[in-house]
Structure 1
C-alpha cells in the first residue's frame, strides 16, 4: 500500500508544540550564540571605511599644447581612458611611491588588560600617535621585519624586549629587498629607553613618548614593516571606480583600523598621482624647448654666415643697392630652395627620431615632444597606438606579473609597433631623399636658365634670398620658443583632487553590535529549530496519529496513555488512571464500530516484541470483564509466554496442553481476580507451535469459547517475527494492531499494509500504545484533564 503524500503539508501548530517542549535547547543555543557574539564584538578589530574623489580632466591643457607649437602636424588627441588611469593609480609602483613618503615603517599594537585576554590574546588594538613609546629605526642597517617585538615597560628608564620567531626575513631598507632568511630569533633583554640597540638582526632606539602616561595594557609590541608588505596591504584594501558610467571623476576607497593613517594614505596617493602627472607634462614641455633650442642653435651660424657673405659681396663689388629681381625664375628658384630646405629639415628630424628609437629602447615607453610633431599621418597613428599599448600594459601590470599571457601579448604588440615605426621612418627618409634629389634637379634647370643674368646681379640675388630665408626661419623659431616657454611656465595638470579623504559612515564597517547580537539571537533560534527538524525527520518511528495515518490506510481505533512498569493491570489496580480511561475509550470505540456485527473474537498483535500487545490484550479483556461482559483471554504466543507477569497463574496446563494432550477445556481455563475474566495460558512451551495452532482442536476451542463467553480475546505472536498470526487470523472477528509510540518503525507496517490492501485482513484497527500526552501536540490537550485521573 502506498503511503499518503503529505510531504508538502506543514502543520505549524505541531512544529510549534515540538519547539516548545524542547525550550531548553533554544535557551542553551541562544546563550551560546550571545556569548560568541559578545566575544566577537569585543575581540574583533574595528575596521573603518574611507573615501575620496579625484577628477581626471581631459588632457587638453599644459604642455600638450606646447607640442602643437611646432606646427609640423596636427596629431589627433585620443584623450584618456578611465580604466588605464585606474590601473596606474592602483599599480604597485604608485602605491610604493606613496608609501615612501609616509612614515609607516613601524606599527604599534597593544593587548588591553581585559578578561578575554586571560588565556589568549583575543583583543588587539593598533596604535598610531598614542603609543607609550616611539621606535627610531636605523634604515641603514639590516632589520628583521614583519614579526612582533614585545616591549614590557619596567619603569621610566627600562624596558624588556622579547622577540621569538621562526625563519623571519632580514630586510634592507635602503634597497627594499630581503637579503636572507634567519633560521630562528629568540631574544629576551632588559634595555634602557633612549639608548640604541644594535645586533646582527636589529638596529633601533626606543624612547618613552610620555613618561607620565600610565601603562594600562597587558602588553605592547611593535612590528617593523617591509615596504613590500605595506604595498600588498594597501593594494588589497584600495578600490577605485568612476562615480558613474563614462564619468571622469574617480572614487577612491580603502579600509583600515587607524583613521589618521588611512586618510593620510589616500590624500598622499592622490597628491603623488597629480604631482607625477604634472612632472611628466613639464618634462615633455622641457623636451619641446630643447628641440627648438637645438634648431635655433644650428640656424644661428647659418644666419651669421649668410649675412657676412652678403656684406662681403657688396664690399668687394662696390654694390650699394640692387633691386630685387622679380623674374618668375627667381621666384620659382626661391620656392624650390625653400622646399628643399624644408625637406632637409624633415629628413634631419626623421634621422634624429630614428637614432633615438634605435639607440634607446626605453624611448618606446612614452612619446617625446619631438615625435609628437611627425607630419606623416601613418607614423603619427603608430605613435598613438604605441602610447595606447603602453597605457594598457600599465593597467594590466597592477594585478598581473610579466609572465602573464596577456602581458606577453601586449609586449609583443609593442615590439611589433616599434618595428613598424622604425620601418616607416626609414621609408620616409628614403622618400625625402628622392624629393630632395628631384628639387635639386629642378633647381639646376632653373639655374641654367638664370645663368644668362649678369653674374653680379644673380650672385647678389642668391645671397639675398639665402639670407632672407635663414632670417625668416630663425624669427619663426624664436617666436615659437617664446610661446613654448610661456606654455611651460604656465603649465598645469588636468588632474584635480575634488574631495580629500574622509571616514565613510559613523562607525566601523565590520563590527555593528546591534546587528551582530540580533544575528546571534536569530542563529540561536534557527540552529536548535533546524536540529529538531532534522532529528524529527531522521526519526523513523511512529510519533502520533497523524504520523500513523501517513504510512497506513488501516483505520485508527485509539491510543493508550503512557504509564509506569507498575501499571501492568492499570484497569484493575488504578481504574481512574489515564491508562484505564484509554482502554475504556478503546472498548467503547470498538463496540461502536462493530455495533452492526456480532463480533466475539478479538485478536491483538503487533510488528515485533516489546510494542505492548500483551499489555493491550490483558487490559482490554480486563476492561471488558469489568464492564460486565464475560470474557476469556487466550495466550497463543507459545514461544514467549508473559501472562505470569499479569496474573497469578501457572503454566502446568494451558493452550498447548489442550491442543496436544486433549485435556478437557475445564482443566485449562483459569480464573482471575477480576470478575467475569478467565484466561487460558500458553501452557508448556511446545516444540512446534505452528503445528499445534493448525490443529482442528483450535477451531473447536474457539467455537466452544464463543458459546460460553461474550468476548474471546487472543494475544497472538508478533506478525513480524513468526507466522502463527496468519494461522489464527481466520478465527478473528476483529484484529487490533498495536504500535508503540516512538518505538515502532514505520517500515515495520509494510507487511500488514500489504495484507490489508489484499483484503486478507478483516476488521483491523490500529492502536497506539504508550503515548505520552505531554510529548505530542495531537493529544496535548489531554494533559489538561489530569485532575480527572488519579
Structure 2
C-alpha cells in the first residue's frame, strides 16, 4: 500500500511543539555558541584597514622647453600603463626596499592577565611603541628568527630569557639571507638589562624602556622577523587598484593590527616609489650629460690647435683678406664639411647603439639618441616599445616563472622589437653612408675648383674652414649640453602622493562583537533545530496519529497513555489514571464503531513483541469486565506465555491442555480478582501450537464461549513473527492492532497493510500504546487535564 501524500507536508505547529519540548537543547547550544563567540572575540587579534591614494602623471619630466629640445629623451606619445605601475608598486623588490627603510625587524607581544589565558595563551596583543623593553640587535652576528623569545622581568636590573624553538633558521640581518637551519633549541638564562648577550643563536642587548612602568601582563615575548617573513606578510595584505576604470589615481590599502606600523608602511612605500621614479629619470639625464662632456673634451684640443694654426699662417704669410670668390667657395666647403661631420656623428651614434643592442644591453643603458641631434621618430618609437616590454616583463616576473606562456610571449615580442631596432639602425647607417659619400663627392668637386686659387690663399682657406668647422661643432655640443643640463635640473617626478595613509572605518574589520554574538545566537538555535529535524527524519518509528495515518489506511481507534511499567493492571489498580481513562475511551469507541454489528470476539495483535499487545488485551478485558460485562481473556500465544505477570494464576492447565489433552473446559477457565473477568492461559507449551489452533475443537471452543460470555478477548501472537494470528483471524469479530509510540517501525506495518488492502482483514482498528502526552503535539492538550486523573 502506498503512503499518503500528506507524509511530506510540513506541520509548523507540530514542529514548534517538538522544538519547544526540547527547549533544553536550544538553551545548551545557545550558551555553548555564545561562550565560543566570547572566546573568539576576546582572543582574536583586531585587524584594521588603512588606505592612501597616489596619482600617476603623464610621464613627462623637466621644463616644457627642455622637453621640446630633448624630445627623444622621452619618446613621442609615451604614456604609462596603470597595470604596469601597479605591478611595480606591489612587486617584491619594492616592498623589500620599503621595509629596509623601516625598523620592523623586532615585533613585541604580550599575553594579558585574563582568565582565558589560565590554561592556554589565547589572548595575545602586539606592542609597537609601548613595550616594557627594547631589543637592540647585533647585525654582524647570526640571529634566531621567526620564533617567540620569552622575556620575564625579574626586577629593575635582571630579566629571564627563555628560548624554545623547533625547525627554524639562523639569519644574517646585514645581508638579509638565511644561513643555516636549526632544530630543537631550548634554554633559559638570567641576564641583566643593558648588557650585551651573545651565543651561537642570538646576539642582542635588551634594555628597559621605562623602569617605572608596571609589568601587568602574564607574559612578554618578542620575535625577530626575517626580511622574507616581513615581505610575505606585507605583500599578502597590500592591495593596489585604480579608484575607477581608466583612472590614474591609485588606491593603496593594507590591513594590520598596529595602526602606526601599517600607516608608516604605506607612507614609506609611496615615498619609495616616488623617489625611485625621480632617481631613474635623473640617471638617464646624467648619462646624457656624461656623453656630451666626453664629446666636448675631445673637441677642445682640436679647436685650440685649429685656431693656433690659422693665426700662425696669417702671421708668417702676412695674409689679411681673401678673395671674395674664394671666401664663397671656402664657405660652401665649410658647410659641406659641417654636414659631413653631423652625418658622421649620427653614424657614430647609430654604431654605438647597435653595439649595445647586439650586446644584449637594455634600453636604459643605451646612449640617448638626442646627443647627435637625430630626429628619427621610427627609431624612437621602437626604443619606447622595447622599454615598455621590459617593464611588462618585470611586472610578470614577480609572480610568474620563465615557463609561463605569457612570459614566453613577452620574450618573443622583445626579441622581435630588438631585431626591428637592429634592422632600422643598419638601414640608417647605410643611408648615412650614402649621404656621406654624396657630400664627399661634392667636396671633391669644390676642392678641385679651389685648387686653382693661389697656394697661400688656398692654404689660408683650408685653415679657416677647419677652424670654423671645429668651432661650430664645439658650439653645437655646448648648446646641447646646456639643454641637457636644463632638463636634468628641472627634472620632476610625475608621481604624487594625494592622501597620506589613514585608518579606514571606525573599528576592526575582522571582529565585530555585536554581529558575532548575534551570529553565535543564530547558530545556537539552528544547530539544535537541525539536529531535531535530522533525528526526526531518521527516526522511522510511529510518532503519533498523523504518522500512523500517513502509513496506513486502517481506521484509528484510540491511544493508550504512558504510565508506570510496574503497574500492569492500571485499569483495576488506579481507575482514575490516564491509562484507565484511555481504555475506557477505547471501549466506548469500539462499542460505538461496532454498534450496528454483533461482535463478541476481539482479537489483539501487533507487529512484534514488546509493543504492548498483552498489556492492551489484559487491561481492555479488565475494563470490559468492570463495565459489567462477562468477559473472557484467552492467551493464544502458546510460545511465550506472559499472563503470569498480570494475574495470580497458574499455567498448569490452559488452552493447550484443552485442545491437546481434552481437559474439561471448567478446569481450564480460571477466575481472577476482577469481577466478571475470567481467563484461559496458554497452558503447557506444546510442540506444535499451529496444529492445535487449526483443530475443529478450537472453533467449537469459540462457539461455546460465545454463549457463555458477553466478550471474548484473544491475546494473539505478533503478526510479524508467527502465523498463528492468521489461523485465529477467522474466529474474530473485530481486531485491534497495537503499535507502540516511538517503538514500532513504519516498515512493520507493510504486511498488515497488504492484508487490509486485499480485504483479508475485516473490522480491524489501530491503537497507539504508551503515548506520552507531554511529548506529543497531537495530544498535548491532554496534559492540561491531569487533575482529572489520580
Normalising by structure 2, we get a TM-score of 0.92
Q: Deviations over 1:317-374 (max 9, x none)?
A: 73515436798x9998777555533332221111121233345x45356666348987
Q: Secondary structure at the match of 2:492?
A: coil
1:660 corresponds in structure 2 to: 660
Distance in 2, matches of 1:455 and 1:69, equals 43
1:182 corresponds in structure 2 to: 182
CA contact under 8 A between 1:67 and 1:369: conserved in structure 2? no
User: Structure 1 residue 451: deviation in Å?
Assistant: 6.3
1:127 corresponds in structure 2 to: 127
1:633 corresponds in structure 2 to: 633
* Greater Cα shift, 136-145 or 763-772: 136-145
CA contact under 8 A between 1:542 and 1:743: conserved in structure 2? yes
User: Structure 1 residue 613: deviation in Å?
Assistant: 0.8
Q: Secondary structure at the match of 2:5?
A: coil
2:745 corresponds in structure 1 to: 745
Q: Deviations over 1:729-778 (max 9, x none)?
A: 22322221111011111121121122222222222221110000001111
Does residue 197 (structure 1) correspond to residue 197 (structure 2)? The answer is yes
Change (3 A) 1:383 1:239: same
User: Structure 1 residue 275: deviation in Å?
Assistant: 0.6
Q: Secondary structure at the match of 1:240?
A: strand
Q: Secondary structure at the match of 1:433?
A: helix
CA contact under 8 A between 1:66 and 1:288: conserved in structure 2? no
CA contact under 8 A between 2:346 and 2:374: conserved in structure 1? no
2:484 corresponds in structure 1 to: 484
Does residue 323 (structure 1) correspond to residue 324 (structure 2)? The answer is yes
Distance in 1, matches of 2:167 and 2:493, equals 47
1:350 corresponds in structure 2 to: 350
Distance in 2, matches of 1:167 and 1:564, equals 66
CA contact under 8 A between 1:91 and 1:397: conserved in structure 2? no
Q: Secondary structure at the match of 2:540?
A: coil
* Greater Cα shift, 390-399 or 444-453: 444-453
CA contact under 8 A between 1:67 and 1:285: conserved in structure 2? no
Does residue 148 (structure 1) correspond to residue 148 (structure 2)? The answer is yes
Change (3 A) 1:692 1:65: farther
2:777 corresponds in structure 1 to: 777
Distance in 2, matches of 1:365 and 1:739, equals 93
* Greater Cα shift, 224-233 or 737-746: 224-233
User: Structure 1 residue 781: deviation in Å?
Assistant: 0.7
Distance in 2, matches of 1:182 and 1:711, equals 93
Distance in 2, matches of 1:413 and 1:351, equals 23
2:399 corresponds in structure 1 to: 399
CA contact under 8 A between 2:134 and 2:207: conserved in structure 1? yes
Change (3 A) 1:438 1:758: farther
* Greater Cα shift, 607-616 or 535-544: 535-544
Q: Secondary structure at the match of 2:535?
A: helix
Distance in 2, matches of 1:660 and 1:699, equals 14
* Greater Cα shift, 664-673 or 388-397: 664-673
Does residue 93 (structure 1) correspond to residue 93 (structure 2)? The answer is yes
User: Structure 1 residue 52: deviation in Å?
Assistant: 1.1
Q: Secondary structure at the match of 1:236?
A: helix
User: Structure 1 residue 665: deviation in Å?
Assistant: 3.6
Q: Deviations over 1:463-509 (max 9, x none)?
A: 66665555555444433332332222121111111111111222222
Does residue 680 (structure 1) correspond to residue 680 (structure 2)? The answer is yes
Unaligned runs of 5+ in 2: none
Q: Secondary structure at the match of 1:440?
A: helix
Q: Deviations over 1:703-743 (max 9, x none)?
A: 33333333322211101101111222223222211110111
2:292 corresponds in structure 1 to: 292
1:249 corresponds in structure 2 to: 249
* Greater Cα shift, 301-310 or 475-484: 301-310
* Greater Cα shift, 406-415 or 78-87: 406-415
Distance in 2, matches of 1:551 and 1:362, equals 87
* Greater Cα shift, 676-685 or 499-508: 676-685
Distance in 2, matches of 1:706 and 1:181, equals 99
Normalising by structure 1, we get a TM-score of 0.92
Change (3 A) 1:460 1:789: same
* Greater Cα shift, 522-531 or 318-327: 318-327
1:363 corresponds in structure 2 to: 362
Q: Secondary structure at the match of 1:653?
A: coil
CA contact under 8 A between 1:557 and 1:765: conserved in structure 2? yes
User: Structure 1 residue 6: deviation in Å?
Assistant: 4.2
Q: Secondary structure at the match of 1:264?
A: helix
Q: Secondary structure at the match of 1:503?
A: strand
2:730 corresponds in structure 1 to: 730
CA contact under 8 A between 1:293 and 1:481: conserved in structure 2? yes
Q: Deviations over 1:79-98 (max 9, x none)?
A: 11111111111111111111
Distance in 1, matches of 2:423 and 2:478, equals 33
1:36 corresponds in structure 2 to: 36
Q: Secondary structure at the match of 1:152?
A: strand
CA contact under 8 A between 2:289 and 2:484: conserved in structure 1? yes
CA contact under 8 A between 1:259 and 1:503: conserved in structure 2? yes
Unaligned runs of 5+ in 1: none
1:598 corresponds in structure 2 to: 598
2:646 corresponds in structure 1 to: 646
User: Structure 1 residue 71: deviation in Å?
Assistant: 5.6
CA contact under 8 A between 1:149 and 1:221: conserved in structure 2? yes
Change (3 A) 1:687 1:431: same
CA contact under 8 A between 1:59 and 1:80: conserved in structure 2? yes
Distance in 2, matches of 1:324 and 1:21, equals 126
Distance in 1, matches of 2:451 and 2:365, equals 51
CA contact under 8 A between 2:139 and 2:173: conserved in structure 1? yes
* Greater Cα shift, 295-304 or 214-223: 295-304
Distance in 2, matches of 1:439 and 1:287, equals 32
Distance in 2, matches of 1:374 and 1:647, equals 126
CA contact under 8 A between 1:136 and 1:205: conserved in structure 2? yes
Distance in 2, matches of 1:284 and 1:438, equals 35
2:138 corresponds in structure 1 to: 138
CA contact under 8 A between 2:72 and 2:370: conserved in structure 1? no
Distance in 1, matches of 2:380 and 2:721, equals 98
Distance in 2, matches of 1:65 and 1:715, equals 118
CA contact under 8 A between 2:72 and 2:368: conserved in structure 1? no
* Greater Cα shift, 465-474 or 269-278: 465-474
